[in-house]
Structure 1
Amino acid sequence: MPRATSALIRLAVPAKRVLLPIADGLGGMTRQARALPDFLICGAQRSGTTSLFKALNLHPAATGPVLRKGVHYFDTGHHNGLDWYRSHFPLRNGLRARWGRPRVRVFESSPYYLFHPLAAERIARELPETKVVVILRDPVERAYSAHAHETARGFETESFARAIELEDRRLRGAEERLVADPTHYSRSHQHHGYVARGNYVDQLIRMERHLGRERMHVVDYADLFDGTSRTVAEIIRFLELPSVSMEPPGRHNARKRAMMPESLRAELTSRFAENDARLAHWWGRTPSWCR
């Protein structure tokens, strides 16, 4: 049942590790009876995707994958096939409208979908009616947060300043290889794109080209965490979920870190200026970090 799925997602990490193989095995055996997502949270990384996922997962007509926030099918797991993807979601029978409850919509959140060069095309082809939500955060703060996140997870060993210096070398040719060979995987492209991931406008244009603007809803991080539920209500309307009273989203996965040196902040702000201007034109609004 969808609410049971929501409860499972909130299990402690050790319990999830025990239950995941069991859930995956059962999902594989019953994959043909399982649903595909109605909508996706596609990023950006370190921009509140976990907070939004948890908030929407509390909606009575929305539920995520079994024991997961994201499946990473349209980026790193695409070679596994659509049936594998389907196996991670609830059974269709449990999602039907019944006893006054509306049909439950299924979704997931995989922040790499926005940045991976093939994800938007794959989403458009395999989920032709699915809507996507994207959250954008000050790209300087996003980069600094991503570095702390990747360091804590063991994917980064360099200081932030050094990682920025190395980024062009680390990512050189990675996107071209990912496009040329759909089975290729780039560790640096997924984990070391601190500046590249903050160049939002080209990623959004690519997504628009494949999905169409009407299937995209772009959210400003500052609006999501303004202490109200206004932005979540707007997302619910875009997704055509029943209107319900929602609490403001809480902050999740925040990591303590030292203050960024002002000289480095100024340098990065300058580097993002042109892209931010293009973003404002595409979006039709000035991002909060540019006001």
Structure 2
Amino acid sequence: MPERPPLHREIPPPECPPGWRTGPPDFIGVGTQKSGTSWWWALLAAHPGVEGSAHAKELHFLSRFQHRPMNDDDVAEYHRHFPRPPGLLAGEWTPRYMAIPSVAEAIQRAAPEARLVAILRDPVERYRSGLSQWYVTRRRTGRPPEDERGESEAVERGLYARQLERLIGRFGRDRLLVLQFERCLSEPADQYGRTLSFLGLPQWLPEPEVMRLPVNTTTVGKTDLDPEQHRRLVDGYQADVARLKDIVPDLDLTLWPDFGHL
């Protein structure tokens, strides 16, 4: 089967100002799409202890190694993406990372000490929220309407337990912070404080307008699920969500209505 066109352009490393240093990122956001990661990245980048202005939020760099191993030149190039002054942390947040099996090995190779952060959203709602964007991406990349592989991947991105188990097996549970999108919405200051503690940063709050989730101004229309689609998704995710509860004991399933009985 021919390879698909790449979804993301390669981003060159930024300049490193005099007196700054480059090196492996201190933290990597690994997931997940349609779960407020751009908002959370903005909150982290606003912290006085984080250098978040030198590069884009989503590098997609570690996604490149699905078909070949990462070599020393790749590691050096990745490190050049993270210039920062002495004493400041640097990181990135590519929401697709968690769903790509090869990324765990790439992180271990290029950033073995990095702390990992994931935000999870109700998988049914995450799938629905991503449908419209998936249709746009399919048209942009020339994928045919019957591209079942792409739709299957969209479903699989909501199998969080499987993805987290892969990361935990390589890095251990203590290196991974798992946040719940719905709790970030309802108690942003508390969840932001948890994030700062996990990264070893002093407690701090940005201006209120930064703390609020930005309004989605996309022109892409919302896509609803028909009842049969909804039922299939709930059935398909149920076993994974049950496993997820064991991995993330403080997961509040009352915020995921289809799974509150688990």
- Which of 37, 46, 54 matches 1:49? 37
1:115 to 2:99 alignment: yes
CA 1:227 to 1:281, structure 2 compared with 1: closer, same or farther past 3 Å?
Answer: closer
**TM-score, normalization by structure 1:** 0.71
Cα offset, 1:156, TM superposition: 7.5
Q: Does structure 2 conserve the Cα–Cα contact (< 8 Å) formed by 1:37 and 1:106?
A: yes
Letter in 2 for 1:244: W
Q: Does structure 2 conserve the Cα–Cα contact (< 8 Å) formed by 1:50 and 1:252?
A: no
Residues of 2 paired with 1:252 and 1:82: CA distance? Answer: 37
Q: Does structure 2 conserve the Cα–Cα contact (< 8 Å) formed by 1:150 and 1:156?
A: no
Cα offset, 1:51, TM superposition: 1.1
Give the length in aligned residue pairs. 235
List per-residue Cα deviations over 1:250-281 (Å, max 9, x = no partner). 23656540332233212211211111111112
Residues of 2 paired with 1:26 and 1:123: CA distance? Answer: 23
Q: Which residue of the partner structure matches residue 76 of structure 1? A: 64
Q: Which residue of the partner structure matches residue 272 of structure 1? A: 237
Residues of 2 paired with 1:277 and 1:158: CA distance? Answer: 34
Report SS of the residue matched to 1:76. Answer: helix
Alignment of 1:157-236 (within 5 A): 166=148, 170=149, 188=150, 193-226=153-186, 228-236=188-196
CA 1:133 to 1:156, structure 2 compared with 1: closer, same or farther past 3 Å?
Answer: farther
Cα offset, 1:151, TM superposition: 2.3
1:281 to 2:229 alignment: no
Q: Does structure 1 conserve the Cα–Cα contact (< 8 Å) formed by 2:28 and 2:115?
A: yes
- Which of 18, 21, 24 matches 1:36? 24
Letter in 1 for 2:48: P
Residues of 1 paired with 2:144 and 2:230: CA distance? Answer: 18
List per-residue Cα deviations over 1:169-224 (Å, max 9, x = no partner). x2xxxxxxxxxxxxxxxxx4xx8611111111011001001111110000011011
Residues of 2 paired with 1:26 and 1:68: CA distance? Answer: 13
Gaps of 5+ in 2: 1-8
Q: Which residue of the partner structure matches residue 6 of structure 2? A: none
CA 1:249 to 1:158, structure 2 compared with 1: closer, same or farther past 3 Å?
Answer: farther
Residues of 1 paired with 2:34 and 2:192: CA distance? Answer: 18
Letter in 2 for 1:73: F
CA 1:65 to 1:111, structure 2 compared with 1: closer, same or farther past 3 Å?
Answer: farther
Higher helix fraction: Structure 1 or Structure 2? 1
Residues of 2 paired with 1:263 and 1:257: CA distance? Answer: 18
Residues of 2 paired with 1:249 and 1:72: CA distance? Answer: 26
CA 1:285 to 1:82, structure 2 compared with 1: closer, same or farther past 3 Å?
Answer: same
Cα offset, 1:89, TM superposition: 2.1
Letter in 1 for 2:27: F
Q: Does structure 1 conserve the Cα–Cα contact (< 8 Å) formed by 2:46 and 2:52?
A: no
Q: Does structure 2 conserve the Cα–Cα contact (< 8 Å) formed by 1:63 and 1:104?
A: yes
Cα offset, 1:249, TM superposition: 4.2
Residues of 2 paired with 1:35 and 1:204: CA distance? Answer: 25
**TM-score, normalization by structure 2:** 0.78
Q: Does structure 2 conserve the Cα–Cα contact (< 8 Å) formed by 1:229 and 1:249?
A: no
Q: Which residue of the partner structure matches residue 180 of structure 1? A: none
Cα offset, 1:141, TM superposition: 1.3
Residues of 1 paired with 2:163 and 2:201: CA distance? Answer: 26
Q: Does structure 1 conserve the Cα–Cα contact (< 8 Å) formed by 2:118 and 2:176?
A: yes
List per-residue Cα deviations over 1:51-97 (Å, max 9, x = no partner). 1111111111112363411222222265660121122222x4xx22x
Question: What CA RMSD, in Å, does the superposition of the two structures yield over aligned residues?
Answer: 2.9
Gaps of 5+ in 1: 1-16, 97-102, 171-187
